[in-house]
Amino acid sequence: MIQIKRIITLFVLVFFTSVVFAEVEHSVDSKNKDEFDASTEIMHHISDSHSWQLFELENKKTGEFRSIEVPLPVILVNNGKLDIFISSMFKEKHDGDIKYKAYKDYVLYHNKIYLSEDGKLKFNEHHHLENAQPLDLSITKNVAGMIFASILILIVFISMANMYKKGNKVPRGIQGFLEPLVTFIVEDIAKPNIGKKYEKYVPYLLTIFFFIWFNNMLGMIPIIPGGANVTGNIAVTLTLATFTMLITNFSASKNYWKHIIYPPVPKALLIIMVPVEIIGVLSKPFALMIRLFANITAGHIIVLSLVSLIFIFKTIWISPVSIAFTLFIDIIELLVAILQAYIFTLLSALYIGMAIEEH
C-alpha cells in the first residue's frame, strides 16, 4: 500500500511538472511563433557538447530562454600551438539565420570547433562547411561523465577492498550489493567461456562490465553529474570493442590463427573461406560496438520523443499519456543498462575463450 502511494505521488509530481513545462513552451511559441523542432532538441540532448547544461531560464520580456550551463575546459592544438580556455569564452553570434559561437580564431558550431580568421563560417555551393578543424583534446560532457564514473568506480571498489582487508568476510552495505555481481562475472561468465586461463582476463571483464553499467545508469540521471550519453557515443563503444579485439587477437593461440589463415576446408574453397574468416575477426568487435551504441541511443531517443509529444501537441491533456509511457520506458532502460553491460562482457569473454582454446 505504501509503495502504491509513492508511485501515485511520483506520477502526480511528474505530471504537474510536465504541465508547467508545456505551458512555458506554449507561451514561448506564441511569442516567437517558432514551431517546436523535436528532432533538433533530441539530437541536442543525446550529442556531446563543450558544456554541461543545468537548466534554462525564461526572459519574461522577450519570451526567450537563457541556458544555465557549467563550462568545461577547451583544449586545442593548432599548428603546434596549445590553446586552453573555458567554453564559456565562446560568445553567441549570428550570420543570417545561422547561429554559432566564436572566440579568438575559433568557432563553435554544432558542438564542433572550427578555425576562422574573421570569426565566421564559410560554406561552399553545396552548403558544406569549408573551415578547417584544430586538434580537439577538450574535456567534453562525455569525457567529464567518463571521468566521474571512473572516480565513482574507484571509490566504490577501493572501499570494498578495504573492507576485506579489515576482515569483513560477511558482505555489508555496498559490499553486499556488488559482491554477487563480481562473483557472477567470475563464476558464470569468465570460467565457463574462457576456461582454465580465466583469471588472467577477469580484471578486464570486471572493468568493462562496471564501466558500461555505471555510465549507463548515470546517463539516465537528467542533472549533473548525470545526463552524459557516454555509451551512446559510438567513439566510446568503438574504443571498448577495439580493446576486446586487441586482447582477443594478441592472446590467440596458433590454432586460432591457423584456422583463419588456412581453415580446414577443401583447397578450392580457400579463396572464399580465408576472406570470410578475416572479415569475421573484424565483424565481431563491430557487432559489439553497434549493439551497445544502438541500444543506449535508441532508449534515450524514445524517452525524449515521448516527452516531446507534450510540446508538439501544445496541450496539457497529452501529458498523462506521455509521462506514463516515459516512466514505463525508463523502467525498461534500467534493465537495459545492466543487460547491455552483461552482453558486452559475455561476448568479450566468449571471443577470448574461442581464441585461446586448445586444438
Lowest mean pLDDT among 121-125, 143-147, 175-179: 121-125
- Is the CA virtual torsion 85, 87, 93, 98 positive or negative? positive
The pLDDT of residue 212: 95
- For residues 129 and 218, what is the distance between their CA atoms, to the nearest angstrom? 34
Give Cα separations from 50 to 70, 88, 103, 232, 319 (angstroms). 9, 9, 14, 17, 32
- For residues 244 and 286, what is the distance between their CA atoms, to the nearest angstrom? 11
- For residues 320 and 327, what is the distance between their CA atoms, to the nearest angstrom? 11
Give Cα separations from 251 to 23, 211, 351 (angstroms). 59, 22, 11
Please provide the average confidence, as pLDDT, over all residues in the chain: 81
SS3 84: strand
The whole-model pTM stands at 0.81
SS3 333: helix
Lowest mean pLDDT among 48-52, 77-81, 117-121: 117-121
Structure-block grid coordinates of residue 174 = 555496498
- For residues 214 and 119, what is the distance between their CA atoms, to the nearest angstrom? 40
| Residue 54 burial (CB count, 10 A) | 12
- For residues 161 and 157, what is the distance between their CA atoms, to the nearest angstrom? 6
The pLDDT of residue 153: 93
- For residues 356 and 348, what is the distance between their CA atoms, to the nearest angstrom? 13
Indicate the pLDDT class of residue 1, thresholds 50, 70 and 90: very low
Percent of the chain with pLDDT over 90: 30
Lowest mean pLDDT among 1-5, 151-155, 179-183, 329-333: 1-5
Task: Say whether pLDDT at 51 is over 60.
Answer: yes
Contact 76, 106 (CB under 8 A): yes
- For residues 68 and 49, what is the distance between their CA atoms, to the nearest angstrom? 14
- For residues 105 and 107, what is the distance between their CA atoms, to the nearest angstrom? 7
Beta bridge partners of 238: none
- Residues 6 or more apart whose CB falls under 8 angstroms from that of 264 comprise none
Greater confidence (8 vs 64) lies with: 64
The pLDDT of residue 59: 63
Span 185-228, pLDDT tens digits:
999 999 999 988 889 999 999 999 999 999 999 988 877 777 88
Structure-block grid coordinates of residue 265 = 576446408
Element containing residue 34 per DSSP (H, E) = none
- For residues 63 and 268, what is the distance between their CA atoms, to the nearest angstrom? 73
- For residues 330 and 334, what is the distance between their CA atoms, to the nearest angstrom? 6
Span 94-132, pLDDT tens digits:
777 778 888 888 888 888 888 886 767 788 777 778 788
Greater confidence (59 vs 342) lies with: 342
- For residues 281 and 245, what is the distance between their CA atoms, to the nearest angstrom? 8
Task: Say whether pLDDT at 31 is over 80.
Answer: no
Burial 129-162, CB ≥16 within 10 A → b, else e: eebeebebebebbbbbbbebbeebbeebbeebee
Indicate the pLDDT class of residue 75, thresholds 50, 70 and 90: very high
The pLDDT of residue 339: 94
Give Cα separations from 186 to 195, 205, 214 (angstroms). 11, 9, 19
DSSP 129: B
